[in-house]
Amino acid sequence: AATLASCAESERDGDGGSGGGDDGTFVFGAAGAPEMFDPYYATDGETFRITRQMFEGLLGIEPGSAEVVPELATEWTSDEEGTEWTFTLRDDVTFHDGEPFNAEAVCYNFERMFDQNDAGQVAGEYWGYVMGAYANDPENSLYQGCEATDEFEAVISISRPTSGFPTMLTLESLSMQSPKALEEGDANGIASEGEGFSFPAYADAPVGTGPFTFGEYDEANGSITLARNDDYWGDAAQVSEIVFRVIPDESTRRQELEAGSINGYDLPNPVDWAGLEEDGNSVEIRDPFNILYLGLNPEANPQLEDLRVRKAIYHALNREQLVQTQLPEGAAVATQFMPDTVSGYNTELEPYAYDPDEAKRLLAEAGAEGMTLNFAYPTEVSRPYMPDPQKIYEALRTDLEAVGIKVKVSTASWNGGYLDNVSGEPGKYDAYILGWTGDYDSAYNFIGTFFGNLKDNDFGTDVMPWGKQLADDLKAADAIVDEDERGAAWEEINRQIMEEYLPGLPISHSPPALVVGPGVDGVIPSPLTAEEFDTVTVGGE
């Protein structure tokens, strides 16, 4: 730790022996640079990790779980229909710029998110995803309006009841920001320029309510500094400063940690876990909140319309072996399209057995022996649910070939066409590897995303006889206001999906990990990979 201190801290501060307690700098190795700092427009985890320390939403998530807890709102209630939600706000919160946090501010924020220009509508990805539309198309928008009924009471109306609301308010993108700063920084002044968007000044100088305030972004050195918010309404953060250092190369991050010049980094390579632990670091394994699946597309290959063929493929896969040999410890074979932490998970479902003979039999029955699958996996990407897509593909391919299915491989890089080919209408691949990390605790966030949109989904369910039924069932379940009733509906749908429809093949859930160096305490791993660092302490042997 002595070396750590001397390297990680300012040399100008003299001796870096910040022995303990409530001071010090937490240096975190980031894999990529943040996009910018307005969480509303942000889309990637590297950005959210930083903004999360500075912003808070109306609702929060219990550290270490996916459970929704009060944050800036202390309580919320809805009317009968579930379309009018009243939020009681904390009265002791100010933004970093000294502006008061109140119902006006909340409504300002929602209106700001709702009212986007063309560019903003494309860039504000999460809003579009959860709310469906913007101010120029209010009919299709879930969000209908916000009213400050009292200084600390805001009412938000939505067009229809949905299980996603208000859980979706835990989304980092929907965090509360200072109205004054938004105004002054022309936060909505996003414009399309050439082939991208240019962001307004605000995106470089964000103002939230969280335990940390924005310090500076040293682009030349690739470091982002956040400072402790001493006026934080809750318990002040333990460290005085967080520095995110951009270190794109995995092995360099590890070497930096070993050299003590950073205190932690995300998603350490599972290969390194044991070694890291040996060296005195702690590898914090999160509960899996994701799903890896093999997508099947009957639009691209009509043979896949036959349920027997889909089942045959499922039986052909040795998922146990895959999980054991390819995925990190804590990974599990999936029985359905969502992890067990999500309410609506059907505990009664059993995994499809690895049974090549059965697979062959089913194939024969369906007259599809020797069928060819155009199988795709993405390159240049690593996600929590698939640390190495190529390895997973390898394993699946071997299994498929073992039952006589011919595999024709296609690849494309993640951004270089893979997603286009999967999501295009119709999709280009017969079978593809893809997955999903939940945004918040909601079954619809998983299966609704997959199958809820009949026309435009990756599984081509619109050509299946049951496709419409499934989509309708999902919408119906989503609209059930009563939680228990809704849970039961989800369970039933999950059973149907797995036993009767089998539109795709869920494979596994993997636990992503986070590693911190010796002397770092207080990191609470979050299944949503949404760690807040205010509890972190640095120092102490």
Partner 1 sequence: MTSETPQPPPQRTSYADRRKQRLDALAAASADEEGGVSLILSAWRRLRRNPVFLVGLAITVTFVVLALVAPWLAPYDPAARPLLDDIRPQSNPVPGPEPGHPLGGDDKGRDLLSRLLVGSQQTLMVGVLATLFGLLGGVTLGTIAGAFAGWADSLVMRIVDVMLSIPSLLLAFTIAALASSPSQWTLIVAIATVQVPIFARLLRGSMLGQRASDHVLAARSLGVKPHAIVFRHMLPNALGPVIVQATLVLAVAIIDAAALSFLGLGNPDDRRPEWGQMLGAAQPYLGQEPHLAFYPAACIIVVALGFTLMGESLREALDPKTRR
Partner 2 sequence: MLRFAVRRLLQMVGVLLVLSFLVFVWLRSLPGGPVSALLGERQTEARREALEQALGLDQPLPVQYLRFMQRAFRGDFGVSTQVLPGEDALDIFLTRLPATLELSFFALVIAIALGIPLGYLAARRKGTALDTTTVISSLVGVAVPVFFTAFLLKYFFAVEWNLLPVSGRQSIGLDATRVTGLFVLDGILTREWDAAWDALKHLVLPSVALATIPFAVVFRITRASVLDVLDEDYVRTAEAKGLTARVIRGRHVLRNAMLPVVTTVGLQVGALLSGAVLTETVFSWRGVGQALAEGFLQKDYPVLQVLIMAAAAIYVLVNLLVDITYALIDPRIRTR
CA distances from 433 to 150, 162, 332, 409, 436 (A): 49, 29, 17, 12, 11
Asked if residue 249 binds partner 2 (CB under 8 A), the reply is yes
Single residue of 240, 398, 469, 496 touching partner 1 by CB under 8 A:
398
Q: Please report which helix (H) or strand (E) contains residue 434, including its range.
A: strand 431-437
Among residues 391, 404, 463, 479, which is the contact residue for partner 1, using CB under 8 A? 391
Question: Rounded distance, CA 136 to CA 204, Å?
Answer: 27
Min CB(316)–partner 1 separation in Å = 16
Q: Which stretch binds partner 2 (CB under 8 A): 326-334, 402-410, 411-419, 498-506?
A: 411-419
Based on the shown chain and the rule CB under 8 A, indicate whether residue 379 belongs to the binding site for partner 1.
yes
- Give the list of residues 6+ apart from residue 252 with CB closer than 8 angstroms, or none: none
Write out the two tokens for 281.
Answer: 């670091």
- Residue 58 binds: one of partner 2, partner 1, none (C-beta under 5 to 8 A by kind): none
The alpha carbon torsion through 219, 225, 226, 227 (nearest 10 deg) reads: -140
Site string for partner 2, 419-438 (x = CB under 8 A): xxx-xxx----------x--
User: CB under 5 to 8 A by kind: which of partner 1, partner 2, none does 222 bind?
Assistant: partner 2
Residue numbers 454-483 binding partner 2 by CB under 8 A = 456
* 11 interacts with, out of partner 1, partner 2, none, CB within 5 to 8 A per kind: partner 2
Residue 7 binds partner 2, judged by CB under 8 A: yes
**Closer CB to partner 1, 234 or 518, in the complex:** 518
Helices 250-259 and 270-278 sit at what angle, rounded to 10 degrees? Answer: 10
Closest to 211 in 3D by CA, of 25, 27, 52, 53: 53
Residue 277 near partner 2 by CB under 8 A: no
Is the CB of 279 or the CB of 462 nearer to partner 1?
Answer: 279
Inter-CA distances, 48 with 43, 56, 398, 477, 535, Å: 8, 11, 38, 30, 18
Rounded to 5 degrees, what are φ and ψ at 163?
A: -65, -25
Options 203-211, 320-328, 433-441, 449-457: segment touching partner 1 (CB under 8 A): 320-328
Taking the complex as a whole, how short is the minimal distance between the CB of residue 266 and partner 1, in angstroms?
15
Of the residues 194, 235, 484, 541, which one makes contact with partner 2 according to CB under 8 A: 194
Q: Is 416 an interacting residue with respect to partner 1 (CB under 8 A)?
A: yes
The partner in contact with residue 425, picked from partner 2, partner 1, none with C-beta cut-offs of 5 to 8 angstroms by kind, is partner 2
The residue range among 206-214, 416-424, 479-487, 522-530 that interacts with partner 2, by the rule CB under 8 A, is 416-424
Beta carbons within 8 Å of 95's beta carbon, 6+ residues apart: 101, 105, 177, 178, 180, 181, 207, 208, 209
Positions in 265-284 near partner 1 (CB under 8 A): 269-275
Q: What CA–CA distance (Å, rounded) separates 23 from 239?
A: 5
The secondary structure element, H or E, covering residue 311 is: helix 307-316
Question: Using the rule CB under 8 A, is 276 a contact of partner 2?
Answer: no
CA distance 230 to 236: 6
**Interatomic CA distance for residues 101 and 111, integer angstroms:** 15
* 261 belongs to the binding site for partner 1 (CB under 8 A): no
Bridge partners of 379?
413
Residues 101 and 90: beta-carbon distance below 8 Å: yes
How many Å apart are CA 496 and CA 239, to the nearest integer?
50
- Asked whether position 133 contacts partner 2 by CB under 8 A, the answer is no
**Total chain residues near partner 1 (CB under 8 A):** 32
258 is a contact residue toward partner 2 (CB under 8 A): yes
Q: Which is nearer to partner 1, 306 or 399 (CB)?
A: 399
Stretch that binds partner 2, among 108-116, 161-169, 194-202, 500-508 (CB under 8 A): 194-202
When CB distances are held under 5 to 8 angstroms depending on the partner's kind, the choice from partner 1, partner 2, none that residue 349 binds is none
Quote the CA–CA distance of 238 and 522 in Å, as a whole number: 9
**Closest approach of Cβ 244 to partner 2, in Å?**
10
DSSP 382: -
Smallest distance from partner 2 to CB 107, Å: 26
129 binds, among partner 2, partner 1, none (CB under 5 to 8 A by kind): partner 2
Q: Is 255 in the site for partner 1 (CB under 8 A)?
A: yes
Binder of partner 2 out of 139, 195, 278, 350 (CB under 8 A):
195
Query: Is the CB of residue 491 less than 8 Å from the CB of residue 267?
Result: no
On the CB side of 369, CA atoms within 13 Å amount to 7
What are the tokens at 393?
A: 């593909």
Structure tokens at 156: 């938000």
Binding test (CB under 8 A) with partner 2, winner from 63, 70, 145, 222: 222
Give contact residues for partner 2 (rule: CB under 8 A).
Answer: 3, 7-13, 25, 27, 32-33, 35-36, 43-44, 118-119, 121-123, 125, 128-129, 190, 192-199, 203, 219-223, 241, 243, 245-249, 251-252, 255-256, 258-259, 261, 380, 412-413, 415-417, 419-421, 423-425, 436, 453, 456
